[in-house]
Amino acid sequence: MVDLSDDELLAELGVSVEAKKVSGRTPREERIIAGFEDILKFREEHGSTPQHGEERDIFERLYAVRLDRLRALPDARELLAPLDKFGLLGEPSVPAGADFDALDDEALLAELGIAAEAPDDITVLRHVTSREERRAAEEIANRTPCLDFAKFKPLFESAQNDIETGARQTREFELKSEIRTGSWFIVGGQKAYVAEMGEMFSNAQGRTDARLRVVFENGTESNMLMRSLQRALHKDEAGRRITDPSAGPLFGNEAEGDDLKSGTIYVLRSKSDHPDVAAHRDLIHKIGVTGGSVDARISQAAKDATYLLADVEVVATYKLFNINRSRLEKIFHRLFGAVQLDLTIHDRFGQPVKPREWFLVPLQVIDEAVEKIKDGSIVGFAYDPATASLTPSNRR
């Protein structure tokens, strides 16, 4: 038997053997190529070059810093040129002279003010907090006693009362322009009042900022930056802005000045032959609000369980100006909730429906309620079913 080498045996079997390629690259160069491939992948997936910015994803920020360093290194640009199908390297955008060996993710993260938990893989970030975020948290936390809180306390009580009565509402915080002197927020579970706002200036990142005096409902205050309050509100899932109280006439026959026409309050009487409705037809009224035509709203009443599956007649209408319609509906429901019609009917598909907005209340009382909403005195009244009248309440 003829002894054959491994290569000869493979050749007999028709298997060719490729010589193992030797890279010839240093570990440093391999690391640079791998890092650039991450940037190329980002460009392919997002269609754009990674950018700097606190609002950007942390990995995009990391890639942006890495790309700046690669652009600043002539030998890195020469090494990566064959791979640069998107022309990302271009001209240096940062001063040359960066350390080739310092081009690792931990160094980049440190430059961004971000801590990675060792010894885990750098792609698994834990407790990621930027310097700006830490500063915002510290400014919120580092409060001092408000020595003149006595003059702010009535403002907090008034704001709370406005929220309870619907004059103010809480909304999701969106824009930094909402932060101004006299504005209200909820942050960290506390109502916060912007008592003072200094002159605008440009911070180190070229963004506008201002120093604030923010007073909190627990009697403390903070001399924080506007950007810090903005970040705290965005980070706080329960953070909210508190709207200004509604101003201007609620109702009128004509719009005046800057008043905005919002719609119409309508009062309906049902023509239903349901025994409970027929027995109290003159007392049962539906109070609704619409931003469109009342006639169009009720045109299909006979097919709509909301309208008791019957035609209706319009017994009163009131024009709305400069008011939030949903808030107005809540006022009526609070006022007449105790006499809401308790009736269940079945719709055209046999499903049980409990219509809302129908109340056992005389038309003249609804008229009186509208007048008191006009002058703002409605918060001091409640409906008394026993006397079928509006009576002063204990609300303050």
Residue written as tokens 């936390």?
Answer: 141
**Strands (E) located in the chain:** 144-145, 170-172, 184-187, 190-197, 201-202, 208-209, 212-216, 220-222, 240-242, 261-270, 284-290, 312-321, 345-346, 352-353, 358-360, 381-384, 389-392
DSSP letter assigned to residue 211: B
Low-confidence ranges of the chain (pLDDT < 50): 1, 20-22, 94-103, 111-130, 247-249, 253, 256-260, 395-396
What count of Cα atoms within 13 Å lies in the side-chain half-sphere of residue 163? 16
pLDDT of residue 140: 54
Structure confidence by residue, pLDDT tens digits, 43-87: 888 888 888 876 677 778 888 888 888 888 888 888 898 999 888
119 is written with which tokens? Answer: 């010894």
pLDDT of residue 9: 58
- Among the listed residues 239, 194, 242, 238, the one whose alpha carbon sits nearest the alpha carbon of residue 216: 194
What count of Cα atoms within 13 Å lies in the side-chain half-sphere of residue 391? 8
pTM: 0.38
Task: Determine the distance from the C-alpha atom of residue 17 to the mean position of all C-alpha atoms in its chain, rounded to a whole number.
Answer: 62
Structure confidence by residue, pLDDT tens digits, 167-196: 788 888 877 667 888 999 999 889 999 999
pLDDT of residue 234: 85
**What b/e string do you get for 231-257 counting C-beta neighbours within 10 Å, with b at 16 or more?**
bbbbebeebbbbbeebeeebbbeebee
Query: What does the DSSP assignment read for 33-66?
Result: HHHHHHHHHHHHHHSS-----TTS-HHHHHHHHH
Sequence letter at residue 178: E
Residue written as tokens 């809401």?
Answer: 340
pLDDT of residue 306: 84
